[in-house]
Structure 1
Amino acid sequence: MIDKIKELLGSEADSLLNYKAKFPKEKLHLPGPDFVDRIFAPSDRNINVLRNLQWIFNTGRLAGTGYLSILPVDQGIEHSAGASFAPNPDYFDPENIVKLAIEGGCNAVASTLGVLGMTARKYAHKIPFIVKINHNELLTYPNKYDQIMFAGVRQAYDMGAAAVGATIYFGSEESTRQIQEVSDAFAYAHELGMATILWCYLRNSAFKTKEKDYHVSADLTGQANHLGVTIEADIIKQKLPENNGGFTALNFGKTHKKVYSDLTSDHPIDLTRYQVINNYMGRAGLINSGGASGENDFAEAARTAVINKRAGGMGLISGRKAFQRPMEDGVKLLNLIQDVYLTKEVTIA
């Protein structure tokens, strides 16, 4: 498998597979078969949260490794159903979403209250459900960008979900309310015994300049992660960082020069490791998003998985690259991602 991974990485293969990270891996809490016992058992999470986390870790092709491959399909709301499902109309049918996650060997499927509720009695005991409880809807004109609650935590619990997921747009005008809403929701989810996953996204037009898009800078996304673990997200979903220096370029907030001199470099593995560092040194797992579908999906998926794994991350949550193609090909893409985490030659940098 390592030869196939090298082929997909192309000219970046040596740089990504042999790089030694700037910040030492020995200081991190890395994924492993004992992750729930090692990290969450000493925490304040109750027994049922531990059980649901263990169920997620013990499902699919990555079962027992401590790594995660999750299929997220909330794009019907976040990007519109037409934009998301027109490339493959089969996925207007919620059952096909769950089938793809099962056939693709995923640890869990994350989707809307409607999708998972429609299929719960048939599938909630077969694969862990993650109910996404808030969304950004795009039908208001002119568009507004705000995550609002679409579902209640109790509804997720009643359908047998293992976890709830939510998004916060850190940096937005609405972020204060979102932080409060999601913090309350996560506390209730933990009380009921469900795990919590937070989409820690940045949203502010000032974060995008003519030169760079700092919505994907390591320092700003790292701080978003740190806010996310503060409200007890068990797992953090974050975009793969593409640059750094958001705080200094935008001249706001507070940072330290050692963030850029000692903790990071321009290498993508170092940038991603800074995200892991902000997740309490990996005590809360980092899963990076797979991004939009395009012409080089398999190569991009392999690259993202290699960077995440070598940085000390916990896995990928990849949707459009998988469901915007025939199911057989979607399964192959998900399996490719999982193969990176199963390949021992891809080591922690």
Structure 2
Amino acid sequence: MSTNKIIEILGDQSDFLLNHTCKTIDKSLLHIPSPNTIDEIWMSSDRNTRTLNSLQTILGHGRLANTGYVSILPVDQGVEHTAGASFAPNPLYFDPGNIIKLAIEGGCNAVASTFGVLGAVARKYAHRIPFIVKINHNELLTYPTQYDQTLYGTVEEAWNMGAAAVGATIYFGSPESRRQILEVSEAFAHAHELGMATILWCYLRNGSFKKNGVDYHSAADLTGQANHLGATIQADIVKQKLPTVNGGFTELKFGKTNEKVYTELTSSHPIDLCRYQVANSYMGRIGLINSGGESKGASDLKEAVITAVINKRAGGMGLISGRKAFQKPMNQGVELLHAIQDVYLDKNITIA
């Protein structure tokens, strides 16, 4: 897809997004994804050689191979949101084999899913596309509904099925977050010992994070701190929702912050808000991938391209988009994934 086509998709937001110059945190301070990401960022870390190899396996696969950027297909929603809610729009994806086919035909760097999904087809596909095994989940069969993350298997199981990485979620801000931090920290340490990479879904979850009709679960300051905690427990990549607001600490009147976070380090521009997430991820040493969000139908392609442009220009590492791709016919899902990847392949779209 050409730059002109991307501009056409962005429509009236093209100038706002493509010509923005970030005047908050300068791009010269960032560790920007590149073909030499392993050598330039990870070689001086404590990650062992097998973990570096696993990271390179992910970075070296798919249409974005050896660019430093990633496009990942995540399909753990069968547990997280119920299989019916997730796959009823396209029952094809009740079958794990079709999930993997979408990731392969979509040119993704990797596919992230559950022990069950990936294990069901591991012998056929683990050597064809890097597996990211999601080791913990929420579930929606408990009544009344409970929001927690529970381990569904072991790191050894992920290793034995040939996974390149494990993924996990922590609901930062929830009453159970301290236990989740401990569980995931131990799992990530073991994954690194075995030579697998680690990806953390750094999500916020607390009913009090909504105030006066504003949802601060996507506030730049709160999500940025969640990223920082993810980097602290040695996630190699952090997954985060795109920030839509700011001022979570100040409006909710908890925690600690600094006025400069809001006056100098961020602005209201979405690229600047995302740049703050990148900064909290050790200035980009820990790659930031933003989530694609739910499928809304006709607007999915435009929303996906917008999110990719914001992430790339902010200094992020890529996009992890699931429902927008698998809740539609496979050819349309492939088209959407390719459109996302084309943003990262376009050399005219640069760091702001």
* TM, length-normalised to structure 1: 0.99
Q: Is structure 2 residue 8 aligned with structure 1 residue 7?
A: yes
In the alignment, which residue of structure 1 is the partner of 2:253?
A: 251
Q: Is structure 2 residue 307 aligned with structure 1 residue 314?
A: no
Question: What amino acid does structure 2 have at the position aligned with 1:327?
Answer: M
What is the RMSD computed on CA atoms of the aligned residues? 0.5
1:281 maps to which of 280, 283, 294: 283
Q: CA deviation at 1:38?
A: 1.0
Q: Distance in 2 between matches of 1:167 and 1:37?
A: 28
Runs of 4+ in 1 over 2 A off after TM superposition: none
Q: Is structure 2 residue 98 aligned with structure 1 residue 96?
A: yes
SS at match of 1:186: helix
Question: What amino acid does structure 2 have at the position aligned with 1:312?
Answer: G
Identity %: 71
State the number of aligned residues: 349
Q: Distance in 2 between matches of 1:165 and 1:333?
A: 23
1:181 maps to which of 183, 204, 226: 183
Q: Is structure 2 residue 169 aligned with structure 1 residue 147?
A: no
Q: CA deviation at 1:344?
A: 0.9
In the alignment, which residue of structure 2 is the partner of 1:24?
A: 26
In the alignment, which residue of structure 1 is the partner of 2:349?
A: 346
In the alignment, which residue of structure 1 is the partner of 2:123?
A: 121
In the alignment, which residue of structure 2 is the partner of 1:302?
A: 305
Q: Distance in 2 between matches of 1:40 and 1:174?
A: 32
Deviations 1:125-153 (A, max 9, x none): 11000000000000000000000001110
Q: CA deviation at 1:211?
A: 2.9
Q: Is structure 2 residue 198 aligned with structure 1 residue 196?
A: yes
Q: Distance in 2 between matches of 1:69 and 1:334?
A: 8
Q: CA deviation at 1:10?
A: 1.3
Q: Distance in 2 between matches of 1:74 and 1:269?
A: 28
Question: What amino acid does structure 2 have at the position aligned with 1:223?
Answer: Q
Q: Distance in 2 between matches of 1:262 and 1:7?
A: 32
SS at match of 1:144: coil
Q: Distance in 1 between matches of 2:188 and 2:274?
A: 25
Q: Distance in 1 between matches of 2:36 and 2:63?
A: 17
Q: CA deviation at 1:37?
A: 1.1
SS at match of 1:130: strand
2:56 maps to which of 39, 54, 63: 54
Q: Write out aligned runs for 1:208-227 (5 A).
A: 208-227=210-229
Q: CA deviation at 1:8?
A: 1.2
Q: CA deviation at 1:308?
A: 0.2
SS at match of 2:121: helix
Q: Is structure 2 residue 346 aligned with structure 1 residue 332?
A: no
SS at match of 2:166: strand
Q: Distance in 1 between matches of 2:97 and 2:239?
A: 24
Deviations 1:180-237 (A, max 9, x none): 0000000000000000000000000000112310000000000000000000000000
SS at match of 1:266: coil
SS at match of 2:81: helix
Q: Distance in 2 between matches of 1:101 and 1:143?
A: 31
Q: CA deviation at 1:294?
A: 0.7
SS at match of 2:132: strand
* TM, length-normalised to structure 2: 0.99
Q: Distance in 2 between matches of 1:85 and 1:211?
A: 30
Q: CA deviation at 1:170?
A: 0.1
Q: Distance in 2 between matches of 1:8 and 1:78?
A: 31
Q: CA deviation at 1:9?
A: 1.1
Q: Distance in 1 between matches of 2:39 and 2:58?
A: 14
Q: Distance in 1 between matches of 2:346 and 2:68?
A: 14
Q: Distance in 1 between matches of 2:49 and 2:120?
A: 28
Question: What amino acid does structure 2 have at the position aligned with 1:13?
Answer: S
SS at match of 1:64: coil
Deviations 1:218-262 (A, max 9, x none): 000000000000000000000000000000000000000000111
Q: Distance in 2 between matches of 1:304 and 1:229?
A: 22
2:38 maps to which of 36, 39, 46: 36
In the alignment, which residue of structure 2 is the partner of 1:134?
A: 136
1:260 maps to which of 244, 254, 262: 262
Q: Distance in 2 between matches of 1:144 and 1:150?
A: 16
Which is further off, 168-177 or 15-24? 15-24
Q: Distance in 1 between matches of 2:85 and 2:111?
A: 20
In structure 1, list runs of 5 or more residues that go unmatched: none
Question: What amino acid does structure 2 have at the position aligned with 1:340?
Answer: V
